[in-house]
Amino acid sequence: MPTKAAFLFDVDNTLLDNDAAERRYARWIDEHVGAGASARFRRAYEAVRAERDYADYLGAVQRVWNDEGRDPRWLVLGDFLLDFPFADCVYAGAFDALRSAAERGSTWIVSDGDVVMQPRKIRRAGLWDAVQGRVLIFVHKERALHEIERRCPAQRYVMVDDKIRVLDAVKRQWGDRVRTVFVRQGHYALDPAQIRAHPPADRTIEAIDRFAALAQTLAGGAQ
């Protein structure tokens, strides 16, 4: 049976400070692989993402290892990424946001990414358990709304994300069935070109710790 309301939370730069995590990756890579190694890894990462159309950190490790002549110094990077303490990067207020939503409907994490690193990140951050395993991963969530509806049927939805383009795409498809919440955290959310290119979300908050105060209104479907 459909629930009254389903809250769909993004992860990177919504519940978890992914920009901060990436800065820590870069410092570690330069320290353990060599000066300038983080820039070379980033180039490999961007190349893999352009080819596959999603973030694939472990695929980037394979790519940079091949590109660097199979230098054994890169062999430690995969373990570092998989064991990274993502719990340290969860935003203040993220778990309160999930709890406040759970009091008013079902809570889900709906994230873009690969099927190895992204679930690992969500688990190690403590977010997987916070939503009792209700986690969906897609290449592009805005292109998978029929599957989201099938897996988490609800009378109405609340989507919480740092990407205004994603919220715009979802709103155009679901219309009044969804309330969109734009969280202005991270580099995508602060990009003036992105903000100009899309209409505003139903609600905009400056940080995820502001979400709990909105939860009741959003669950009720009020504008």
Q: Is 1.10.286 the CATH classification of the domain at 19-86? A: yes
Q: What's the rounded Cα separation, in Å, for the pair 44 and 30?
A: 15
Strand partners for 90: 16
CB atoms within 10 A of CB 33: 21
Q: Where are the domains of the chain?
A: 3-17+90-220, 19-86
Length of the chain: 223
β-bridge pairing 178-183 and 154-161 = parallel
**What percentage of residues in the chain have a pLDDT greater than 90?**
95
- The angle formed by the CA atoms of residues 14, 16 and 21, to the nearest 5 degrees, is 130
> What band does 142 get if pLDDT is binned at 50, 70 and 90?
very high
Give CA separation, 154 vs 2, 58, 128, 158, 222, in Å: 4, 35, 21, 10, 16
Q: Tokens 């389903």, residue? A: 6
- CA-nearest of 160, 119, 158 to 6 is 158
> What band does 69 get if pLDDT is binned at 50, 70 and 90?
very high
Provide φ and ψ at 8, rounded to 5°: -110, 110
Q: What is the pTM of this model?
A: 0.95
- Check residues 219 and 156 and name the one with the higher pLDDT: 156
Plot region of 195 (φ>0 → left; ψ -120 to 50 → alpha; else → beta): alpha
- CA-nearest of 19, 7, 172, 197 to 98 is 7
pLDDT of residue 222: 39
CATH number of 3-17+90-220: 3.40.50.1000
pLDDT in tens, 105-126: 999 999 999 999 999 999 999 9
pLDDT of residue 1: 65
